[in-house]
Amino acid sequence: MNYLKTAVLLAVLTALLIFFGDALGGRNGAMIALVFAGLMNFVSYWWSDKIVLAMYGARQVGEGDAPELFGIVRDLTMKAGLPMPKVYMMESETPNAFATGRNPHHAAVAVTTGIMRLMTREELSGVIGHELSHVRNRDILISTIAATIAGAISYLSQIAYFAAIFGGRRDNDREGNPFALLIMMIVAPIAAMIIQLAISRSREYAADEGGARLTGNPLYLADALRKLEYYNKRTPMEVANQATAHMFIVSPLSGGSLLKLFSTYPPIEDRIKRLEAMVGHRRF
């Protein structure tokens, strides 16, 4: 169901791009914005893993450095039928983790030193299972596609803004309604952002379910999420920023209700309820 929801949301996002692009400058306008956004996200897709790992000062570890962590990653990777990812450690008291990499053959799993001290082996397995599910589901690719389309819509909105200031006309010579264009200029980027957030949330649910199946017990991840939410609220990660916060298993940022409203994460309590509901389920 999560895969179907993601496909539908991507289709709606694409339709929004075509509609807005046609309203502003014909199909050529939409294509130019899409290509421009695609080029920027292409760079991000290929090199974002190295950038993010360096940003958080993550260091690669081997089995001799972190035998328990390395063993969990290796065991779950084999169970998932994935190549062994690189394993990284971040110096931070805040417990958290993320996965990155453009595909399963170029993947990395990073955890903080705080999560190693806080979690039991079972809870850590639940966290790693969640991250490996992101890798197996190619969520980095899906989020890049969504970001490309949403970015193109944002660029079109900026073009519309400057066109409204300096004047101009559409390249297909059809007159547009200036008020409708103004509304679209405001609404389209907001709608694109909401859809992009919905896609991200859908992928989190899918990774939770996949991680629970990998470990064989949904309660491992459910218990880990409870701890992660509590400690990330108490001691949010100092070096975290909004641009990369969506990569972590729970938000490393502190913030009020407005930040939660536009968060890429589903509510923790909802994620826990879904995991608990999997216990004893016939399909599990």
Specify the number of domains making up the chain: 1
pLDDT of residue 257: 45
User: Phi and psi at residue 252, in whole multiples of 5°?
Assistant: -85, 5
Which of 103, 100, 108 lies closest to 84, judged by CA?
108
* C-beta separation of 221 from 207 below 8 A: no
pLDDT of residue 123: 98
Q: Per the domain annotation, does 260 fall within a domain?
A: yes
* C-beta separation of 114 from 95 below 8 A: yes
Active-site residue flag, 131: yes
Contacts of 174 (CB under 8 A, 6+ apart): none
**Angle, in degrees to the nearest 10, between helices 2-55 and 178-215:** 90
* C-beta separation of 272 from 225 below 8 A: yes
pTM assigned to the model = 0.76
Which of 163, 196, 152, 166 lies closest to 20, judged by CA?
152
Give the Cα separation of 264 and 275 in Å (integer). 19
Strands 86-90 and 108-112: parallel
- The residue annotated as part of the active site, out of 63, 68, 93, 131, is 131
Q: Which amino acid is at 62?
A: G
Contacts of 50 (CB under 8 A, 6+ apart): none
* C-beta separation of 95 from 227 below 8 A: yes
User: Phi and psi at residue 126, in whole multiples of 5°?
Assistant: -60, -40
Q: From the centroid of its chain, how far is CA 280?
A: 29
* C-beta separation of 16 from 24 below 8 A: no
Written as tens digits, the pLDDT of the chain (284 aa) is: 555 666 676 677 677 666 766 666 666 666 766 676 667 667 666 777 788 888 899 999 999 999 999 999 999 999 999 999 999 999 999 999 999 887 899 999 999 999 999 999 999 999 999 999 999 988 877 776 776 676 667 766 776 666 666 655 444 444 455 665 666 677 777 777 777 677 778 889 999 999 999 999 999 999 999 999 999 988 888 877 666 777 899 988 765 544 455 566 789 999 999 999 999 765 56
DSSP labels, 73-102: HHHHHHHHT-PPPEEEEE--SS--EEEE-S
Give the Cα separation of 151 and 17 in Å (integer). 10
Q: Is 9 exposed, middle or buried (0-12, 13-18, 19+ CB in 10 A)?
A: buried
Q: Per the domain annotation, does 284 fall within a domain?
A: no
State the residue range of the domain holding 272: 2-278
How wide is the angle at C-alpha 82 spanned by C-alphas 78 and 84, nearest 5°?
75
Residue corresponding to tokens 């992928």: 203
Q: Per the domain annotation, does 213 fall within a domain?
A: yes
Give the Cα separation of 212 and 232 in Å (integer). 22
